[in-house]
Amino acid sequence: MTQFTELGLSAPVLKALAAEGYTTPTPIQAQAIPHVLAGKDVVGLAQTGTGKTAAFALPIIDRLAANKKPPAARAARVLVLAPTRELAAQIAESFRAYGKFSALTCAVVFGGVPIGRQIKAMERGVDVLVATPGRLLDLIEQKKCRLDMVEILVLDEADHMLDLGFIHALKRISQLVPAQRQTVFFSATMPPPIAELAKRFITDPVQVAVTPIASTAQRVEQAVIHVDQARKQDLLEAILRDPKIARGLVFTRTKHGADRVVKRLDAAGIDAQAIHGNKSQGQRERALEGFKKGRTRLLVATEIAARGIDVDDVTHVINFDLPDVPEQYVHRIGRTARAGATGQAISFCAPDERANLRDIEKLTKQAVPVLEHPLALPTPQEGAPVTARKRPNGARQQPHRQQQRPQQQRPAQSRGGQPARKPAPRREGDAPVVRQSREESEMWSNYEGPRSRRR
């Protein structure tokens, strides 16, 4: 079995690994580290919880330490982009832990907190800058950060970073970093359209894939319960009576849905906290810290937690709502069974979510076993018609019934032969309105746009 000492890492990095108690690299680390050390562009694909952060952080620290030079004012030698504040904070923590004997500097910038400290942190420049795109562009607009000295560009959760929510910001950032650079992408999933888009930002990369793309962690026991939408809360409360759920992560589709679930759990005497984009950064940090410390048994979250939470000993992931994008399912259930542990993922599937379930099974190439429960609906028969609910713009479209619009009648004539007043415009409540939310997937949670456009 390969050891970290065999990968060509320097003594300070190996000392930091020993201090963290690591001796044996994971498969993604063993395969990716030599290529990143060699300065090659790399695309790394592996399941969540397999140590992707160390796979790029360790060799990058080694390269910086081998070629020490003071960073320029307001500049960084390495830029790591992450889609959420929580993930950015965790990546920065990893760089500090692995680089504590290498005398390197690291800063993290993201939205939701005062910008003053982040400006001060960048004044003298840093070796490693971890950032969310929105706040990074804020600093650039204020001329408090420059990217012309970047030697290595890293995209963590690259599939999400290249999706519609971030692509415009990413294109702008890519124009500000030098063309001659090393580029590293890491992700658990890489749909073909996103992989094609990635070619614009990376040159002749080495692809390292240690597991099938979009595969789920083998140590996660998966199950689905078919349930009426109106009974989901009752089902959740019934399942939570099981003491085996020592630390659970519950995913909802919307922020208001997360708050509603927490409110009803609190009324039932079940301790839970919500984390989503409408919460302040302080609230998010306190909720996450309480969950990590074991003070809170349940964390109810939107997609913000699917890629930004690395908590030990999460025993269960519960999908209160199935995600619209099937790749998100892989990221969600990857919050459990991390670092060699086992876990369980239970999904609630309402009748209008069965198309989502079929998408997930098609993506992962495996059927999710049905779990029987007194509150469950009968298991749908194979080939049963699917009624898909409407999706947000940009989400995968599913078969849906065609709705015939009534033919418009000619305007009625009022007294005097004049056309009657036009009917009032359709209100939002008259019919379902599909709208692209800025924060449902947390894509836009940190990007507020150039300051010149703010009102």
Tell me: do 232 and 181 sit in the same domain. Answer: no
Does 318 map to a domain? yes
- Per-residue pLDDT tens for 203-217? 889 999 886 554 555
Highest mean pLDDT: which of 54-68, 153-167, 332-346, 418-432? 54-68
Does 320 map to a domain? yes
Tell which of 329, 364, 399 closes a domain: 364
Domain hosting 294: range is 220-364
The model's pTM: 0.65
Residue 411, pLDDT > 90, answer: no
Tell which of 209, 230, 264 closes a domain: 209
Confidence band for 430, pLDDT divided at 50, 70 and 90: very low
Tell me: do 300 and 175 sit in the same domain. Answer: no
Tell me: do 173 and 245 sit in the same domain. Answer: no
Tell which of 308, 341, 364 closes a domain: 364
Look at residue 403 in the predicted model and tell me its pLDDT.
38
User: What residues pair up with 176 in beta bridges, in sequence order?
Assistant: none
**Beta pairing class for 182-187 and 152-156:** parallel
- Per-residue pLDDT tens for 108-153? 999 988 999 999 999 999 999 999 999 999 999 999 999 999 999 9
Does 182 map to a domain? yes
- Per-residue pLDDT tens for 355-403? 999 999 998 889 999 999 999 999 887 766 666 565 554 444 443 333 3
Residue 405, pLDDT > 90, answer: no
Tell me: do 192 and 272 sit in the same domain. Answer: no
- Per-residue pLDDT tens for 289-318? 899 888 999 999 988 766 656 777 899 999
Average pLDDT estimate for 33-46: 93
Q: pLDDT > 70: what percent of the chain?
A: 80
Tell me: do 125 and 15 sit in the same domain. Answer: yes
Does 393 map to a domain? no
Instruction: For residue 81, give the CATH number of its domain.
Output: 3.40.50.300
Look at residue 409 in the predicted model and tell me its pLDDT.
44
Residue 346, pLDDT > 90, answer: yes
Instruction: Pick 198 or 125 by higher pLDDT.
Output: 125
Does 64 map to a domain? yes
Look at residue 233 in the predicted model and tell me its pLDDT.
97
Does 401 map to a domain? no
Rounded to whole angstroms, how far apart are CA atoms 172 and 41? 20
Tell me: do 202 and 267 sit in the same domain. Answer: no
Tell me: do 99 and 234 sit in the same domain. Answer: no
Least confident of 86-90, 286-290, 429-433: 429-433
Tell me: do 327 and 277 sit in the same domain. Answer: yes
Residue 424, pLDDT > 50, answer: no
Give the side-chain half-sphere CA count within 13 A for 434: 8
Look at residue 399 in the predicted model and tell me its pLDDT.
38
Confidence band for 342, pLDDT divided at 50, 70 and 90: confident
Tell me: do 87 and 233 sit in the same domain. Answer: no
- Per-residue pLDDT tens for 202-258? 988 999 988 655 455 567 899 999 999 999 999 999 999 999 999 999 999 999 999
Tell me: do 166 and 262 sit in the same domain. Answer: no
Q: What tokens were used for 187?
A: 């992700």
User: What residues pair up with 317 in beta bridges, in sequence order?
Assistant: 249, 345
Does 451 map to a domain? no
- Split into its structural domains, the chain has a count of 2
Tell me: do 30 and 173 sit in the same domain. Answer: yes
Residue 417, pLDDT > 60, answer: no
Least confident of 9-23, 415-429, 434-448: 434-448
Tell me: do 245 and 199 sit in the same domain. Answer: no
Look at residue 144 in the predicted model and tell me its pLDDT.
96
Does 162 map to a domain? yes
- Per-residue pLDDT tens for 154-194? 999 888 788 757 888 988 999 999 999 999 998 877 878 77
> What average pLDDT does the chain have?
82
